[in-house]
Chain A
Amino acid sequence: MLLRATNVSKSYKLGENELRALNEVSIDIPQQSFIVIHGKSGSGKSTLLNVLSGIEPVSSGSLYFNDESFSTMSERKRTLLRRDHFGIIFQNFNLLPVFTALENVCYPLSLLGVGDARRQGMDALERVGLANFHNHRPAQLSGGQMQRVAIARAIVSKPDVIFADEPTANLDTQTSDTIVELLAELNAESKVTFVIATHHDDFNPYATERYEMADGKMKGMVSKEVEELMSTERIEKNSVLETTL
């Protein structure tokens, strides 16, 4: 298993009260999968993404990446884990405003100390269809273009897992569809694993596994195979019904 969370909980102190954002959540993320974590706002999906990507430490439970525990890792080691193995796409794009699109994409490579960052950065921008915009600063790009740059930044270092937190939340429907398709294509092409937290249904057709979250708990999981099976059974039932009638 590429990534595994076992009975993970995460609590925050709010004054004297404790808010339990994640409650004994377990999840297995296989390699090359396209995981969609679905849930309403406040369900805990973003917290789960933060915990899985090592951005936040867990309060209890265990996390494994390639069967190696990282739930008790120091902040610095988790940072290096993110740098070396994870890519992150944010809802608000979070591009560095002083940089051009290309520099934004190259930045993770510079953190890795990659020498030929420019060529790889251009390749990544080309892959998301923004090679011609490499000299544009974020302020000169549309929301969809900014999210494409953010995707290029996430894929440029060829990570094992890309975490995307509401990647289409701030986009219009048309742009949102192209971003969904782009992420699905990248998953199919490069075999990179995607873990996407969203409250939309746009990603469902591409999900290898879909999780439902509510109140910090995992409510259920539907794998693509099961969904296809259920869909086939529904068709057969309908056929039998039609024949009977």
Chain B
Amino acid sequence: MLLNQKMALLNVFRNYRRSLITLSAIILGCTALILFAGFINSMYQGMRENLIHSQLGHIQIYAKGYNKNSASEPEKYLLDSTTVSKVQDILEADADVLLVTERLNFNGLISNGSQSVAVVGEGIVPDKEALLSSAVSLKQGDDLFSDDTYGSLVGDGLFNGLSANVGEYLTILSSTADGAINAIDVQVTGVVSTGVREVDARFIRANLSLIQELLYTDKVSRMVVLLNNTDDTDKVFQKLEQIFEEHDLNIEMRTWSQLAGYYHEVVGLFNSIFQFIKIIVLFIVALSIANTMLMAVMERTREIGTIRAIGGTPLSVMNLLLSEAAIIGLIGSTLGIACGWFGAEMLNHSGWMMPTPPGSSQSYPIRIIIEQSMIVETFLIALGVAVASSIYPAFKATRLSVADALRFV
């Protein structure tokens, strides 16, 4: 049936203007889908990496029961130094792990003498946190180092709320692990932004030793693990779970994905929007192809009659018309993907800044990240829609009476 395929190919170029219009619809559809998918993919990636590199890390390790009970009794679910040391040894031996660091979280009040604001703070190991929290940007002052015993990094919202100055001393008031009240003075070393406005309004970081002194404990709330590759998270998580079980460590873990509820809500919302847009685009493409094929069937009624008269079965007529649609789909989706890729490159190099997203404190340059799976999916969907939308016209062609088709003028 090779001649049938050749006829299909020649028929596509026979009425080139109409084919061009149909191809344009597919090309535009594919380009729009690729660009939009690439754009939301870059948003997902940006959000995900921002979360990982500002707050969550890839994996967090806690004392068993922490996630269930820490809201009411956080002091009872802290990791002791022996456990921390054991976990650290295990993680440092793992090639997938880039670094592991400890954090001690606290809630309290911060005051400049005249004004007090509630804060959610954490004690950190500055040298390690600098790599882990690469998405936390320094807005003013200097970064925090291990030898800055009383130094602190303050969220820009909090900094502005307190009308503070870099170098100024602030007092943090919190309850110790035993339930007593304690206070320390910290010096504002730098002003930072996590990119999330709500976090920046109550965010403070200081050296772990200083916060341990504040809470009167040598324990930590969590250990945060940064991996070399985000895609390895689940694999490493399972591996660590097994190792920790073998070492009989009384700990529990969470991946960044389990901790990022907001991220999943955004992804879900955008996926729904994308699906809706995809359906509309594909529907327009399908209508365009169906119209072209219906016109082709009408124009070539006598030819179809001839094919049927000289022994072509309804199946061979259907095969001919679906092959034509598949060729249009193949050319259209290939060109559409190429245009999408070219458009993405152009946009990525344009430096076009996107408006600051709701809840965020930073704008960012537009970025389109196209993945292989998107290309394959778009190609197959466009091809599938091209063929599927031609089934009705092709079926109609097979139902033509041969004698009537031969008489058709």
Contact = CB atoms under 8 A, between A and B. Distances in A.
A112 interface: yes
A103 B3 contact: yes
B137 to A, nearest CB: 63
Contacts of A224: none
A195 to B, nearest CB: 14
Contacts of A103: 3, 6
B311 interface: yes
Given A55-B402, A94-B406, A88 B309 contact: yes
Given A55-B406, A56-B403, A103-B6, A96 B312 contact: no
B2 interface: yes
B306 interface: yes
Contact of B311 (A84, A90, A94): A84
B contacts with A: majority SS: helix
A96 B7 contact: yes
B292 to A, nearest CB: 16
Given A98-B7, A107-B3, A110-B4, A88 B403 contact: no
Interface in B290-312: 302-303, 305-312
B162 to A, nearest CB: 79
B402 A99 contact: no
Given A50-B403, A56-B402, A82 B311 contact: yes
Given A98-B7, A110-B4, A80 B302 contact: no
Interface string B12-47: 001000000000000000000000000000000000
A97 B312 CA distance: 17
B134 interface: no
A106 interface: yes
B318 to A, nearest CB: 13
Interface in A98-136: 98-99, 103, 106-108, 110-113, 117
A76 B313 contact: yes
A106 B311 contact: no
A153 interface: yes
A111 B307 CA distance: 9
B103 to A, nearest CB: 72
A113 B1 CA distance: 7
A243 B316 CA distance: 69
B112 interface: no
A178 interface: no
A69 interface: no
A161 to B, nearest CB: 13
Contacts of B316: 111
Interface residues of B, number: 26
Contacts of A113: 1
Contacts of B403: 50, 55-56
A83 interface: yes
Nearest to B1: A110
Interface string A19-38: 00000000000000000000
A190 interface: no
Interface string A77-97: 001101110111010001011
Contact of A108 (B7, B311, B401): B311
Given A50-B403, A94-B302, A99-B7, A110 B2 contact: yes
A126 B13 CA distance: 30
B55 interface: no
Interface in B312-344: 312-314, 316
Nearest to A112: B311
Contact of B312 (A55, A79, A86): A79
B10 interface: yes
Nearest to B308: A79
Lowest 9 CB-CB distances: which A-B pairs, in order? Answer: A83-B311, A98-B10, A110-B3, A94-B306, A56-B403, A111-B311, A82-B311, A55-B402, A108-B310
Interface of A: 50, 53, 55-56, 75-76, 79-80, 82-84, 86-88, 90, 94, 96-99, 103, 106-108, 110-113, 117, 153
Given A79-B312, A84-B311, A94-B306, 17 more contacts: A55-B402, A55-B406, A56-B401, A79-B308, A80-B311, A83-B311, A83-B312, A83-B313, A96-B307, A98-B10, A99-B6, A99-B7, A107-B310, A108-B311, A110-B1, A112-B311, A113-B1
